[in-house]
Amino acid sequence: MKKNNIDQSFGKQEVSNKKRERLIRSVFNKVAPRYDLMNDAMSFGIHRLWKHKLVKLAKPQANQLIVDLAGGTGDVAMKMMAKNNLVLVADPSLAMLTEGKKHHKIQCIATTGEQLALADNSVDTVTIAFGVRNMTRMEEGLKEILRVLKPNGRILCLEFSTPHKWLKPFYNLYSYYVIPRLGAWIAKQPEAYTYLIESIRRFPDQEEMKQIMQKTGFSEVHYHNVSFGIACIHIGTKL
């Protein structure tokens, strides 16, 4: 069982909610220019396959409003674009959104997940990739997603999770020794990547996350592991 006091932790420190929010905001503002490069380096490009699977499961269609929450530099949003649909990137970090706008034609709103600046029952699909872990009050964020979704609308949440047992020793070695060094070398922000590893370690596993989503009010909650559970896509429907 993992420790779930993620709301009040930043790396190895215990901090107040307010301070956590501030520190996380500053992490993404600092890493924004190198964020995409770092993602490719850390995952050997595999995050692209995970996002491809997320989009395939989301099945974007014409006339839909899709929100990619915690959308950062907009790579998931770009893949979600289909004929005559509207895809919005929602993220509180102006630095991440600005970086995204340099490379893609994306439409953005600056908002946190916990207080979504969107109307009730207005969105067909919410995708969120590597975002819920950064919310300081994840359950509030999930409730907000439920509020803005239309009936039968779905959330698809891609997040790091708990890998199969046999993979854990290699995964731990890689996470604790390689990623912070890559963070120092490429993004020049080793502490940001120490936060990343620690937040993954504290995040609920597949079954716990499923229960949290059910408790929030999502129906038909199920999940697909990717790369032996290193990451996982949870799907839920608003009935």
Ligand X SMILES: C[S@@+](CC[C@H](N)C(=O)[O-])C[C@H]1O[C@@H](n2cnc3c(N)ncnc32)[C@H](O)[C@@H]1O
Question: Considering the rule CB under 6 A, would residue 233 count as an interface residue with ligand X?
Answer: no
Residue from 24, 55, 123, 179 binding ligand X (CB under 6 A): 24
Closest CA to 192 of 10, 62, 8, 21: 10
Whose CA is closest to 226, among 116, 102, 113, 130? 130
Least distance from ligand X to the Cβ atom of residue 70, Å: 3
Contact call for residue 183 and ligand X (CB under 6 A): no
What the block records as the tokens of 197 is 């590893």
Q: What SS3 class is residue 69?
A: strand
In angstroms, give the least distance from the CB of 185 to ligand X.
Answer: 19
Least distance (Å) from ligand X to the CB of residue 2?
Answer: 19
Shorter beta-carbon distance to ligand X: residue 76 or 209:
76
Instruction: In angstroms, give the least distance from the CB of 232 to ligand X.
Output: 14
**9 is a contact residue toward ligand X (CB under 6 A):** no
Strands, E assignment, 73-227: 86-90, 107-109, 123-129, 149-160, 219-226
Would you give the binding string for ligand X spanning residues 92-131, x where CB under 6 A is met?
xx--x---------------xxx--------------xxx
Q: What is the largest CA-CA distance in the chain?
A: 47
Please say whether the beta carbons of 125 and 154 come within 8 A.
Answer: yes
Structure tokens at 70: 């915690």
- Which chain residues interact with ligand X by CB under 6 A? 24, 28, 39, 69-72, 75-76, 91-93, 96, 112-114, 129-131, 134-135
